[in-house]
Amino acid sequence: MMNTKIVEVENLRKLFPVQKSFLDRLLSKKIEYVHAVDDISFNIKIGEVFCLVGESGCGKSTTGYLIVRLLEPTDGKIIFRGIDITHIKGEELRKLRKEFQIIFQDPYASLNPRMKIGDIIRHPLDIHMIGTREERREKVLSMLKDVGLYPPEQFYDKYPHQLSGGQRQRVAIARALVLQPKFLVADEPTSMLDVSVQANIVNLMMDLKRRFNLTYLYITHDFGIASKICDRIAVMYLGKIVEIGKREEVLGEPRHPYTIALLTSIPGRKIAGKKLKIRGEVPNAINIPIGCRFYARCPYKKDICQELEPKFTKLSETHYVACHNIEMIKKDWPTLF
Amino acid sequence: MTNQELLSIKNLSVVYNTTRGRLIAIDNFSLGLSEGEIISVVGESGSGKSTLGYAILRILPPNGKIVNGEIHFNGINIIQLSEKELRELRGKKISMIFQDPMTSLDPLMRIGDQIVETILEHEKMDKEEAWNIGANLLESLGIDSERMYDFPHQLSGGMRQRIVIALAIVLNPKVVIADEPTTGLDVIVQYQILDLLKRLRDERKISIIFITHDLGLAYDISDRIAVMYAGKLVELAEKNKLFDRPLHPYTQGLLKSIPELSIDSKNLVSIPGYPPDMVTPPRGCRFHPRCPIAMSLCRQKEPKLIEVEKNHYVRCFRSGEVAFK
Amino acid sequence: MNSDKKLSLHGMLQAISRVKIRRPITEEEWFITIGGSIIFLIFMMALLAPFISPYDPTIKTGASYQPPSWEHLMGTDKFGRDMFSRIIWGGRIPLVIGLVATIFSFAIGVPLGLLSGYFGGNFDRILSLVMDSIYSFPGLVLAIALAALLGSSVVNITVAIAVIYVPTFFRVVRGQVLSIKEELYVTAAISIGAKRRTIIARYIFPNTIPSIAIVFSLSIADAILTEAGLSFLGLGPVVPPVPDWAYDLQKWYGLAVSQGYWWLAFWPGFFIMLTVLGYSLFGEGLNEMLNPMLREV
User: What confidence tens digit (pLDDT) does each residue in C87-118 have?
Assistant: 898 888 889 888 999 999 999 999 999 999 99
Cβ-Cβ contacts under 8 Å, C3 against chain B? 18-20
Answer whether residue C163 shows pLDDT above 70. Answer: yes
C189–chain A nearest CA distance, Å: 9
CB pairs under 8 A between B and C: 22
What's the mean per-residue pLDDT of chain B? 88
CB contact under 8 A, C188 and A68: no
Mean pLDDT computed over C34-43: 92
Cβ-Cβ contacts under 8 Å for C72 (sequence gap 6 or more) = C61, C62, C66, C82, C83, C84
Cβ-Cβ contacts under 8 Å, C206 against chain A? 112, 114-115
Substitution target from A266, A271, A294 for chain B, most B beta carbons within 10 A: A266
Cβ-Cβ contacts under 8 Å, A261 against chain B? 188
Q: Which residues of A touch C (CB under 8 A)?
A: 68, 70, 94-95, 97-98, 101-102, 104, 106, 109-115, 123-124, 127-128, 159, 161-164, 172, 175, 179
> Is pLDDT larger for residue C20 or for residue B309?
B309
Q: Which domain holds residue C198?
A: 91-237
Q: Which of C200, C216, C237 is the last residue of a domain?
A: C237
Answer whether residue C5 shows pLDDT above 50. Answer: no
User: What confidence tens digit (pLDDT) does each residue in B21-39 have?
Assistant: 899 999 999 999 999 999 9
Q: What is the ipTM of this complex?
A: 0.88
C75–chain B nearest CA distance, Å: 48
Coil, strand, or helix at residue B2? coil
Determine what percent of chain B is predicted with pLDDT higher than 70. Answer: 95
User: What confidence tens digit (pLDDT) does each residue in B244-261 have?
Assistant: 999 999 999 888 877 766
Q: Which of C237, C265, C280 is the last residue of a domain?
A: C237
CB contact under 8 A, A112 and C193: no
B269 in contact with chain A, both atoms CB, cutoff 8 A: yes
Nearest to B63 among C1, C3, C295 (CB): C295
Answer whether residue C211 shows pLDDT above 60. Answer: yes
Q: Classify residue C291: in a domain, yes or no.
A: yes
B59–chain A nearest CA distance, Å: 25
B214 in contact with chain A, both atoms CB, cutoff 8 A: yes
Segment among A132-136, A260-264, C22-26 with least mean pLDDT: C22-26
C23 in contact with chain B, both atoms CB, cutoff 8 A: yes
Q: Classify residue B121: in a domain, yes or no.
A: yes
For residue B321, what pLDDT band results from cuts at 50, 70 and 90? confident
CB contact under 8 A, B18 and C296: yes
User: Which residue in chain A has the smallest CA separation from B254?
Assistant: A196
pLDDT at A270: 60
C188–chain A nearest CA distance, Å: 6
B244 in contact with chain A, both atoms CB, cutoff 8 A: no
For residue C296, what pLDDT band results from cuts at 50, 70 and 90? very low
Substitution target from C185, C196, C203 for chain A, most A beta carbons within 10 A: C185
CB contact under 8 A, A199 and B259: yes
Q: Are A230 and A209 in contact (CB under 8 A)?
A: no
> Which chains are within 8 Å of A by 3+ CB pairs?
B, C
B45 in contact with chain C, both atoms CB, cutoff 8 A: no
Reported as type and span, the H/E element at residue A53 is strand A49-53
Domains contained in chain C, number? 2
pLDDT at B325: 61
Q: Are C113 and C174 in contact (CB under 8 A)?
A: yes
Coil, strand, or helix at residue C71? coil
pLDDT at C155: 86
Q: Classify residue B311: in a domain, yes or no.
A: no
192-211 in C: which are within 8 Å (CB) of A? 192-195, 198, 202-203, 206-207, 209
Same domain, C213 and C110: yes
Q: Which domain holds residue B160?
A: 103-167
Q: Are B208 and B39 in contact (CB under 8 A)?
A: yes
Nearest to C3 among B19, B61, B63 (CB): B19
Distance CA A12, CA B252 (A): 44
Same domain, C199 and C66: no
Highest average pLDDT, of A242-251, A262-271, B267-276, comes from: A242-251
pLDDT at A198: 86
Same domain, C246 and C219: no
For residue C2, what pLDDT band results from cuts at 50, 70 and 90? very low
Distance CA A185, CA B253 (A): 29
Answer whether residue C6 shows pLDDT above 60. Answer: no
> Is pLDDT larger for residue C236 or for residue B235?
B235
C2 in contact with chain B, both atoms CB, cutoff 8 A: yes
A56–chain B nearest CA distance, Å: 7
Determine what percent of chain B is predicted with pLDDT higher than 90. Answer: 51
Same domain, C120 and C255: no
Answer whether residue B218 shows pLDDT above 70. Answer: yes
C295 in contact with chain B, both atoms CB, cutoff 8 A: yes
For residue C293, what pLDDT band results from cuts at 50, 70 and 90? very low
Q: Where are the domains of chain A?
A: 5-99+181-332
Q: Which of C237, C255, C273 is the last residue of a domain?
A: C237
Q: Classify residue B180: in a domain, yes or no.
A: no
Coil, strand, or helix at residue C96? helix
CB contact under 8 A, C23 and B63: no
CB contact under 8 A, B219 and A268: yes
Cβ-Cβ contacts under 8 Å, B267 against chain A? 203, 206, 228
Distance CA A286, CA A239 (A): 11
Cβ-Cβ contacts under 8 Å, B23 against chain C? 297
Nearest to C198 among A111, A127, A163 (CB): A127
pLDDT at A202: 92
Q: What DSSP string runs through B87-132? A: HHHBTTTEEEE-S-HHHHS-TTS-HHHHHHHHHHHHS---HHHHHH
User: What confidence tens digit (pLDDT) does each residue in A112-162 have?
Assistant: 999 999 999 999 999 999 999 999 999 999 999 999 998 999 999 999 999
Planar angle of CA A263, A266, A269, nearest 5 degrees: 110
A111–chain C nearest CA distance, Å: 5
Domain of residue C215, CATH code: 1.10.3720.10
For residue A224, what pLDDT band results from cuts at 50, 70 and 90? confident
CB contact under 8 A, C4 and A161: yes
Does pTM top 0.90 for this prediction? no
Same domain, C135 and C249: no
Same domain, C106 and C186: yes
C63 in contact with chain B, both atoms CB, cutoff 8 A: no
Q: Are B148 and B109 in contact (CB under 8 A)?
A: no
CATH number for the region A5-99+181-332 comes to 3.40.50.300
User: What confidence tens digit (pLDDT) does each residue in B78-87 have?
Assistant: 998 998 888 8
Closest CA to B58 of B43, B47, B69: B69
C3 in contact with chain B, both atoms CB, cutoff 8 A: yes
User: Which residue in chain B has the smallest CA separation from A335?
Assistant: B263
Distance CA B23, CA B279 (A): 4
C172–chain A nearest CA distance, Å: 19
Highest average pLDDT, of A227-231, B258-262, C75-79, comes from: A227-231
C7 in contact with chain A, both atoms CB, cutoff 8 A: no
Nearest to C23 among B19, B23, B64 (CB): B19
Q: Classify residue B244: in a domain, yes or no.
A: no
A47–chain C nearest CA distance, Å: 22
Mean pLDDT computed over B9-13: 95
Q: What DSSP string runs through C159-209? A: HHHHHHHHHHHHHHHHHHHHHHTTSHHHHHHHHTT--HHHIIIIIIHHHHH
Q: Classify residue C145: in a domain, yes or no.
A: yes
Quote the crossing angle between the two packed helices C262-290 and C83-90, to the nearest 10°: 30
Cβ-Cβ contacts under 8 Å, A265 against chain B? 187-188, 190-191
Coil, strand, or helix at residue C12? helix
B273 in contact with chain C, both atoms CB, cutoff 8 A: no
Q: What DSSP string runs through C245-260? A: HHHHHHHHHHHHHHH-
Nearest to A104 among C4, C188, C203 (CB): C188
Domains contained in chain B, number? 1
- φ, ψ of residue A255 in degrees (nearest 5): -125, 0
> Is pLDDT larger for residue A127 or for residue C64?
A127
Q: Classify residue C27: in a domain, yes or no.
A: no
User: Which residue in chain A has the smallest CA separation from B250?
Assistant: A196
Cβ-Cβ contacts under 8 Å, C2 against chain B? 20, 277
Q: Classify residue C38: in a domain, yes or no.
A: no
Q: Classify residue C8: in a domain, yes or no.
A: no
Q: Classify residue C158: in a domain, yes or no.
A: yes
C291 in contact with chain A, both atoms CB, cutoff 8 A: no
CB contact under 8 A, A199 and B45: no
Q: Classify residue C2: in a domain, yes or no.
A: no
User: Which residue in chain B has the smallest CA separation from C296?
Assistant: B18
A172–chain C nearest CA distance, Å: 9
Distance CA B71, CA B50 (A): 16
Answer whether residue A3 shows pLDDT above 70. Answer: no
> Which chains are within 8 Å of B by 3+ CB pairs?
A, C
Answer whether residue A247 shows pLDDT above 50. Answer: yes
Answer whether residue A170 shows pLDDT above 70. Answer: yes
Residue ranges of E strands in chain B: 5-18, 21-34, 38-42, 64-73, 76-77, 94-97, 175-179, 207-212, 224-229, 232-238, 306-309, 312-314
User: What confidence tens digit (pLDDT) does each residue in B282-298 have?
Assistant: 999 999 999 988 999 99
Distance CA A45, CA A7 (A): 7
CB contact under 8 A, C191 and A101: yes
